[in-house]
Structure 1
């Protein structure tokens, strides 16, 4: 990050590599409840985009229905946006990313929008490996409709108006891994640094990157015994590793002791640095990732970090062999076969 004087601004204002200030990545004023974890996530999306020097005009924001799906209005106001119907955002993202491969797609969903009405669309989006940063703002409750249980609510959880939840929770990270997702992470809205580093890595990934972020609902689900609350998250978060992200245009410097860092290189040359903490954990081992999630759920542990990584799968545009030039930029003469071609096809049918 360099500091220069931008015309019309005060001396020493920080701008990124494309000459934009962080304020250029803002959106509208949030109407969510004061203290909502979703606002913290929005703030880190803006910071990550600013620090990576992303062009707002080359980003498309996508969402469904719910408190989480309102939040794209509060960041990247200069970017494209599409608010889909409940649970159908993955289908819209599929169309947008196939039509224009140059766009960076950021989808924001919730535990209900993803795990309930949208679970089928979510699983097939992951299966196809759509190039999309898919953020789940997970609070275990339907906040927009006044506090019903969602598919990720803890078994035995009590809510004032909904009573006691008798059903086991769905682990959306596990669902993503089983469906073939190559980038699966979990974080906590109160851990701004970890959220920001995971977002940067996800924004540089070529396929579907799922980040399940526990984002407490301060109005309906903030009891200390809820695994989706601020008190529980602060007291029980157990990071797998310390995460660093080095963009491809910066010199890669490792300042940790030998043997303590695992480097994961992305296709564009950027590097995720995973510094081991208490666990000797390999995020490229799929079986180990599923075992970790099973154990964490059984023990009510709040494991955060990069849970699974696999960049070997081609993205859906690559599978479809789409040209580098976006379909959205093709002219009529590129799309309409000439008369001679149509005549040749017809003659072959006679």
Structure 2
């Protein structure tokens, strides 16, 4: 495959972080996705988050599977490690890599087909094993590479561009992840960089399995008026549960409304988003509270975005199974081959 190379020229006064890197250093090759694809906005948010976290790019491992979303790992962190697995198998590859070297930062990017269909078994076990990684699902409710078939996350009320219905209920990845033991679960919109960047930063820093389900409209096959994954629908039905922080690049937008009420806020581009402020009784760390709340939003046809669930008891796979502190790929042969005595004792224990 031939890639279009980005120009090497850059302004000599670009801001650098503590690693001596600019935002350009966290980019990859030029995207070959459709113009306006929400996935490119997610890529831009990842670049910004990694720059702000001042991550050394060579200490990051980016993982992906198959699909439009899985192509995006080529568009950021050009100097990091990377592995593009077969369809739906990214979670198991990420698990093996994490067990071998726990000192890298693991960032997985997948899609709704790669995650919720062929890869759902892999996804489920990565969550329940609490693999220490940030798993971003770029969710557009459709198979973009194969010309627009429904995916398993497509809402039953959402027709395709030809007006056809889906006979099946959708899979909600956030609800599933919370029930399976993920410690950090969030949902965002590719067009809301102010919300998405802080969520990515927090997910990378979380110790354990972190999921961000990003509604990322497919401009070619699933951005029509009857789609619940379109730009127009999400902007009109977005109910923001929380914002980790707020950094504006232009005049600050302010909104003042009481807990338990909603407000329509006009953004800089003229679009509107509806914000719902949770009342004081809401506990974001209580699974019994958040799951019914998410169901109420769904029943009303609304998209709840923000940090949906947080388990403060951070724990990852290495703690659960008691691996050594030293990365397994650095352990010498004498420790890996203890001799026939310990091996005989292990075999005897299983008889």
For the aligned pair, the TM-score class normalised by the smaller chain equals 0.7 to 0.9
Measured at CA, do residues 18 and 149 of structure 1 come closer, stay the same or move farther in structure 2, by a change above 3 Å? same
What RMSD in Å do the two structures reach over aligned CA positions? Answer: 2.5
Task: Tell me, in whole angstroms, the C-alpha distance in 1 between the residues paired with 2:245 and 2:189.
Answer: 16
Which residue is equivalent to 1:68?
Answer: 69
- In structure 1, the residue matched to 2:113 is 112
Q: How does 1:79-98 map to 2 (within 5 A)?
A: 79-98=80-99
| C-alpha distance 343-162 of structure 1, shift in aligned 2 (>3 A) | same
- Judge conservation of contact 2:61–2:82 (CA < 8 Å) in 1: yes
**Residues 1:201 and 2:234 are matched in the alignment:** no
- Kindly provide the CA deviation profile for residues 242-263 of structure 1, in whole angstroms up to 9, marking residues without a partner as x: 22299xxxxxxxxxx9xx9xxx
- Which residue number corresponds to residue 251 of structure 2? none
Q: Which residue of 2 aligns with 1:53?
A: 54
Residue 310 (structure 1) aligns with:
311
Aligned 8 A contact 1:216 1:230 in 2: yes
Aligned partners of 1:347, 1:286: CA distance in 2, in Å? Answer: 42
The more displaced of 323-332 and 93-102 is 323-332
Determine helix, strand or coil for the equivalent of 1:241: coil
Corresponding residue number in structure 2 for 1:5? none
State the alpha-carbon separation in 2 of the partners of residues 25 and 345 from structure 1.
46
Structure 2 stretches of 5 or more lacking a match? Answer: 1-8, 248-255, 260-274
Identify the residue that residue 342 of structure 1 maps to in structure 2: 340
Normalized against structure 2, the TM-score is what? 0.84
Deviation at 1:295, TM superposition (A): 0.9
Equivalent pair of 1:156/1:166 in contact (CA under 8 Å): no
Which residue does the alignment assign to 2:294?
293
CA deviation string 1:137-193 (max 9, x = no partner): 000000111000001112143224683211111111001011111100000000001
Give the aligned partner of residue 277 of structure 2. Answer: 278
Distance 1:343 1:176, change over 3 A: closer
Report deviation, 1:348. 11
Segment drifting more, 200-209 vs 310-319: 310-319
* Residue 15 (structure 1) aligns with: 16
Greater CA deviation, 167-176 or 11-20? 11-20
1:321 equivalent in structure 2: 322
CA distance in 1, matches of 2:115, 2:342: 47
Q: 1:159 to 1:349 in 2, by over 3 A?
A: closer
Number of positions where the alignment pairs a residue of Structure 1 with one of Structure 2: 314
- Aligned: 1:34 with 2:35: yes
Q: Residue 223 of structure 1: CA displacement?
A: 1.5
| Rounded Cα–Cα distance in structure 2 between residues aligned with 1:171 and 1:25 | 31
CA 1:35–1:335: 2 relative to 1, 3 Å:
same
CA 13–140 in structure 1, closer or farther in 2 if over 3 Å, else same: same
CA distance in 2, matches of 1:66, 1:345: 43
Question: Shift of residue 50 of structure 1?
Answer: 0.6
Q: 1:345 to 1:231 in 2, by over 3 A?
A: closer
Encode CA deviations 1:111-162: one digit per residue, 9 max, x unaligned.
Answer: 1111111111111110000001000100000011100000111214322468
* Bigger mean CA offset, 151-160 vs 118-127: 151-160
* Structure-2 residue corresponding to 1:272: none
Instruction: Give the Cα separation in 1 of the matches to 2:328 and 2:237.
Output: 47
Matched residues in 1 for 2:346 and 2:144: separation?
60
CA shift in 2, pair 1:288/1:332, >3 Å: same
Pairs within 5 Å for 1:160-199: 160=161, 163-199=164-200
Q: 1:232 to 1:89 in 2, by over 3 A?
A: same
Q: Larger strand proportion, structure 1 or 2?
A: 1
Residues 46-67 of structure 1, C-alpha deviations (whole Å, 9 max, x = no match):
1100110101111001111111
Q: The residue matched to 1:76 in structure 2 has which SS?
A: coil
Q: Tell me the TM-score normalised to structure 1 length.
A: 0.84
1:147/1:161 contact within 8 Å kept:
no
Shift in Å at residue 312 of structure 1? 1.5
Q: Are 2:155 and 1:154 equivalent residues in the alignment?
A: yes
Give structure 1 stretches of 5+ with no counterpart: 1-7, 247-256, 261-275
3-state SS of paired residue (1:61): strand
